[in-house]
Structure formats: structure tokens, C-alpha cells
Amino acid sequence: MNCRKVAINILERIINEGAYSNIILSNELNNSDLSDKDKALVTEIVYGTLRRLKTIDTIIASFVKDISIMDKKILNILRVAVYQMNYLDKVPSYAACNEAVEEAKEISDKDSKLVNGILRNFVKKEGKFDIVFRNKIDEIAFDLSFEPWMVRMFIKQYGEHEALEILEGLNNTPKMTVRVNSIKGDYEDVYEELEEAGYNIEEGCICPEAISIKGGKGIENNQAFVDGKITVQDESAMLISPLLDLEEGMKVLDLCCAPGGKTTHIGELLNNTGEVLGFDLHENKLELVKENYERLGITNIKLAQMDATKLDAKLVSYADRVLLDVPCSGIGIIRKKPEIKWTKKRKDLKEIVEVQREILENAWEYLKTGGVMVYSTCTLNKEENEENIKWFLSKHKYATIEKVFIGKGANLCYNQMGTLTILPNEYMDGFFVAKIKKN
């Protein structure tokens, strides 16, 4: 099966059936007999089409009466073709057009003529489409391919200049980053081992334990990964666990722990001493955390299913440290999961705030006096971030902000309150973190 067909099938599952891009893409590619080069092209087409979906659909809509009544498979064939023709230099326009027409023929001759007509017109336009924008927001939404409500939200919360930087940052193609596990390997040795295995790598941009992988084969079958010397984690997420100021022998709670990147980092920083209790709402996700910590050789983690919005009396005043990487809208990780642009609605962001606040209240009960709690999200929506922290501080007079400082960087925004927002770029996801002490 060719790359385009595989890409179209994967997009069908994501756009029409709600599958998660990272999971379905990984499963389909692992079960295919495509070469590494072809797998890279499929990945580029799938993520690129999702990333630019609004722009692509607006272009297609300029050639038809009503895009909403088009056959869904034909629409995805067109989307992939337009993405390749508009954004990929390495695929000649005539080739993308011819392949799309051939694929449409398998559905019907009428559909193949429609596809042929639209794509021929697309080529004739030479990038100058008949699109009328009602306002500047719609123009930004088209240019950067975001829903207008999200553009408006970022401009309202950050101002236009920073909002545009955020939107452009979220359109970056992410590099894969791995964290070296100090329990099993030395950074320099692991770095050398990856180089010898043919990976194109560089040191992380901010975390001392990070290695950025620019090219090479998939990491899952790499010996260093199999041996537990490395684990895949974004640099933004790597910054969170060290902020707990961990000391050997401590009791630590991670209330929303799946898939386990930060949980295993805590266990590693404690050097397999103390106790890390990891909880998650979904029991099936805990299996993934268990696989991770067993592979990494971490022995101080215990897992249990729990709804973090419900208080567990047994845990009151139990923990020296609590990590709250709360469920959130996920807008900061659009680089990795571009479908979030289209699946999230404004009301979802409002509804999640109540859940976050319930978890914050319970976490505070679990923390000993003198203990530290770290609150983090992978969103850039200030209602889920700064506003939640302000709300919490107004309710708890013994809670004080410990200022977060991890160094200087163009994408590190320190708030006057003492919190940190990490803006997305090619190396890092968008993140927010606050550190609170119980006096």
C-alpha cells in the first residue's frame, strides 16, 4: 500500500472516528511493511494535514458549493493532495494530483472527475484563492490554521504579538526528546551509544538530562530504550519533577500520573528510596506506567486507581510532596496532537476548571505542613493556570508561592506571582507550572 493511502486511512480514523493521532499513527506504522523513509512521509502527511486542516478546508471550499455535503473519503483524498501541493516541496503537484484522481476512481468516476477539476483549478490559482475574510481574526485563523475562538482567546489573554508567537510555536514540528535515566545510565555513555546506533542527536536545550533526536529510526526498538537507560519525554515535562525539591526517603503523591513520565522521574530523583504513590482515574492507563517503571528499573513506585476529585481520608497529611499534573485542555501540546485544534471547544475549557480546583483542594489536604506542592498543566489557557492559582491562594492563608526559576530562555515567561509559563517552540511544548508551600 502506498504512503498516501496509509495516510488517508489514518486521517479517516482521526477526523471521522475520533482516534488519537499519536496512538493510531504508531499502531498503523508498526503493522505496515513501509520503509523508514515512507513511514516518515506518512507521519509528515498525517500531522501536516491535521495541523493545516482549517486552511486546507477553506481552500477546498472556495472551489465547491458546499464542502459539508462532500463524501468524507473524497474530502480526505483532497485534503492530502492539497497539503502535499501547498506545503511539501518534495512532492511534484502533478504527481499528487494524479494519485488523488486514481484513488477517487476507486470510489466512482464522478468523484474522480470532481477531484481532478478541483485540483486542476487549485494549480491554476498559483496560491491566490478567492477567499474573503470578515475580519482580522478570520484572516489569522486561515493563515495559521486555528479556530477563530482560539485565536481570540490567545489575543485576549496574551496580547496580539505574543498570541501570534504562541500560535506559530504550536505549528512547529516537534523533535523527539528522551530523558536519560540516571539509575541505569550515565549521560555521556548513553549519548555515545545513541550516536553509534546511527541517531542524529544533540543535547537538550534546557534540561541537563535531555537528548534531542533529530533523525534516525524509531526509538522503541533501540537497545538503550529497551534496557531502560532512556525514556521519551518532552523537555517541558522534564522540568516539572525536579521542582519538587526532592530528598531521599520522602513520601510523594502523584495524583494524575499516567502515562508516567513525571512519576518515573520522581522515583529516579529519589534514587529508589522513599515512596512514590501514583494514582490515575483510569485503571487501564496504570498498566502503561507500570511497564515504564519496570523497564527503567525503578522500584519505589506504587500505583492505584483513584478519582483525584474525591478526598481519600487515608492520605490526609501523608505526603512530603505532591505533584498535580492535572487534566487540562492540552492546548500547549498541539505540536504533538494537532487534532486538539479541532476537537476542543471553548466550553470544554470552562468545564475543566472546576475539576482542577477540586483536585487542588484535595492535594492540599494530603500535604504535610512544611510540604511543597507543584501544580502543572500542558495548556496555555490562563483560566486553567494563573487564575486557578490566584483562586487557590485567596482561599488558603497558609499557602505561599515559591518562585519558580529554571534559567533564562526566550520561551520562558516568569509571572510576577512567581509562576512559569513555557511557550511552545521547536524544542518544547507549551506548559505552566506553579510551586506552593504549606506553611
Q: How many CB atoms lie within 10 A of CB 410?
A: 8
Give the model's confidence band at 425: pLDDT under 50 very low, under 70 low, under 90 confident, else very high: very high
| Straight-line distance from the first to the last Cα atom of the chain, in angstroms, rounded to the nearest whole number | 62
Q: How many CB atoms lie within 10 A of CB 227?
A: 16
**Per-residue pLDDT, 257:** 97
pLDDT in tens, 403-420: 999 999 999 999 999 999
Reply yes or no on whether the pLDDT at 387 is more than 90.
yes
Q: Which of 3, 207, 328, 378 is catalytic?
A: 378
Give the model's confidence band at 287: pLDDT under 50 very low, under 70 low, under 90 confident, else very high: very high
**Per-residue pLDDT, 111:** 86
pLDDT in tens, 167-193: 999 999 998 999 999 999 999 999 999
**Per-residue pLDDT, 125:** 81
Architecture of domain 236-438: 3-Layer(aba) Sandwich (3.40)
pLDDT in tens, 299-353: 999 999 999 999 999 999 999 999 999 999 999 999 999 999 999 999 999 999 9
**Per-residue pLDDT, 216:** 64
Q: What percent of the chain has pLDDT over 70?
A: 99
3-132 matches 176-232 in fold: no
Determine which helix (DSSP H) or strand (DSSP E) holds 188, and give its type and residue range: helix 187-196
Q: What percent of the chain has pLDDT over 90?
A: 81
Higher pLDDT, 94 or 294: 294
- What is the distance between the alpha carbons of residues 403 and 381, in angstroms, rounded to a whole number? 20
Reply yes or no on whether the pLDDT at 371 is more than 80.
yes
**Per-residue pLDDT, 356:** 98
Binding-site annotation, residues for S-adenosyl-L-methionine: 256-262, 280, 307, 325
Range from 212-216, 230-234, 330-334, 402-406 carrying the lowest mean pLDDT: 212-216
Question: How would you class 342 by CB atoms within 10 Å of its CB: exposed for 0-12, middle for 13-18, buried for 19 or more?
Answer: middle
- What is the distance between the alpha carbons of residues 82 and 8, in angstroms, rounded to a whole number? 13
Taking CB atoms within 8 Å and a gap of at least 24, the contacts of 29-32 are 32/1, 32/6
**Per-residue pLDDT, 1:** 61
- Over residues 44-66, the mean pLDDT reads 94
**Per-residue pLDDT, 108:** 87
Cβ atoms of residues 368 and 423 within 8 Å: no
**Per-residue pLDDT, 128:** 82
- What is the distance between the alpha carbons of residues 64 and 56, in angstroms, rounded to a whole number? 13
pTM, 2 dp: 0.94
Cell of 325: 499534573
Enumerate the β-bridge partners of residue 436: 373, 401
- Over residues 243-261, the mean pLDDT reads 97
User: Where are the domains positioned within the chain?
Assistant: 3-132, 137-171, 176-232, 236-438
**Per-residue pLDDT, 210:** 97
**Per-residue pLDDT, 91:** 72
Reply yes or no on whether the pLDDT at 89 is more than 90.
no
Alpha helix stretches (DSSP H) within 16-158: 17, 21-30, 36-51, 53-61, 72-87, 93-105, 109-125, 136-144, 148-158
Check residue 299 and report its DSSP letter.
-
The CATH fold assigned to 176-232 is Alpha-Beta Plaits (3.30.70)
Binding-site annotation, residues: 256-262, 280, 307, 325
Reply yes or no on whether the pLDDT at 365 is more than 90.
yes
**Per-residue pLDDT, 405:** 96
φ, ψ (nearest 5 deg) of residue 107: -95, -55
Where would I find the beta strands (DSSP E) of 240-345? Answer: 251-254, 275-280, 301-305, 319-325
Cis peptide before 338 (omega within 30 of 0): no
- What is the distance between the alpha carbons of residues 312 and 366, in angstroms, rounded to a whole number? 9
pLDDT in tens, 110-148: 889 999 999 998 988 887 888 889 999 999 999 999 999
User: Which residues, other chains included, contact 256 with Cβ-Cβ below 8 Å and sequence gap of 6+?
Assistant: 279, 280, 281, 308, 324, 325, 326, 327, 359
pLDDT in tens, 2-34: 888 999 999 999 999 999 998 899 888 888 888
**Per-residue pLDDT, 167:** 98
The CATH fold assigned to 3-132 is N-utilizing Substance Protein B Homolog; Chain A (1.10.940)
Q: What's the chain's average pLDDT?
A: 94
- What is the distance between the alpha carbons of residues 342 and 418, in angstroms, rounded to a whole number? 32
Reply yes or no on whether the pLDDT at 377 is more than 90.
yes
**Per-residue pLDDT, 2:** 83
φ, ψ (nearest 5 deg) of residue 429: -80, 165
Range from 62-66, 386-390, 434-438 carrying the lowest mean pLDDT: 62-66
3 classed as catalytic: no
SS3 content of the chain, % helix, strand, coil (to 5): 50, 15, 35
Higher pLDDT, 380 or 175: 380
User: Which residues, other chains included, contact 287 with Cβ-Cβ below 8 Å and sequence gap of 6+?
Assistant: none
